[in-house]
Amino acid sequence: MPRGRYSLHDPHDHTPLGEEHFHCAPGPSGWRYVAQTTTPSGEHAGSVDLTLDDLGRPLRLELHAGGWQVRGAALDGVTWVRTDPTGDHATEGNVPAHAFTGTSPAFLVALTRLLRLTPGTGATRVRLVALTDPVLAPLTVDQSWALVTSETHPTDNGPLTVDEYEVTTLDTGERHTVHIAGDVVLAAPGIELEDLQTPPSTFT
């Protein structure tokens, strides 16, 4: 069960946004990721709880940030309920999208599980619902993902396969690279892996 810590920062001006303390593991249903987020000063900021089925679809998502809460799942696309701090103004949403995305590295791993890309097959277009900080406001985005390379490196704990993805945001043309090993993000815009106590899990 990988357990560790990511540091998060603004991908454009590198302003620190805080840290995400996580653990994750494959399970009978697919994969689960649980994390607590903190501010740059170390105060509690929110939480992430994401469970995927064995096809990589979001079975259950629960996010907390800025006093807001979102619960979501794959249902007729993706469906969610967003609740304000008082609970008086809950809103429901549904979009014919493939999955959720957001600040958490969990969403990058989840999407690669859903897409299951192979090197050299070209880019795949996906529609996502981004739950944006600081209040988890939903925004529909279109991206293309391509697996550029998949390389295996020797480590003290055995071979480690690192996948390099090229991601393009289609409405802006902005392009970036994501490196993932198993169920751990090694590097991505706005994300740094600061500590990893156990090796990444290997998906079958």
pLDDT at 40: 96
Query: For the segment 133-174, what is each residue's pLDDT rounded down to a tens digit?
Result: 889 999 999 999 999 999 998 888 788 899 999 999 999 999
Which residues in 39-123 belong to E strands, given as ranges?
A: 44-53, 58-65, 68-74, 78-83, 91-95, 99-102
pLDDT at 85: 81
Query: For the segment 1-37, what is each residue's pLDDT rounded down to a tens digit?
Result: 899 999 999 988 999 999 999 999 998 779 999 999 9
Decide: helix, strand or coil at residue 177: strand
CA 54/CA 97 separation, integer angstroms: 18
Residue 114 has pLDDT above 80, yes or no: yes
Which token pair is 109?
A: 């791993």
Task: Please name the amino acid found at residue 18.
Answer: G
CA 87/CA 67 separation, integer angstroms: 10
Output phi, psi for 181, to 5 deg. Answer: -120, 115
Exposure string (b/e) for 97-110, b if CB count within 10 Å is 16 or more?
bbbbbbbbbbbbbb
Residue 118 has pLDDT above 80, yes or no: yes
CA 36/CA 137 separation, integer angstroms: 19
CA atoms 133, 138, 144, 148: torsion sign: positive
Query: For the segment 61-96, what is each residue's pLDDT rounded down to a tens digit?
Result: 999 998 999 999 999 999 999 998 887 889 999 999
Question: Position of tokens 């959720």?
Answer: 100
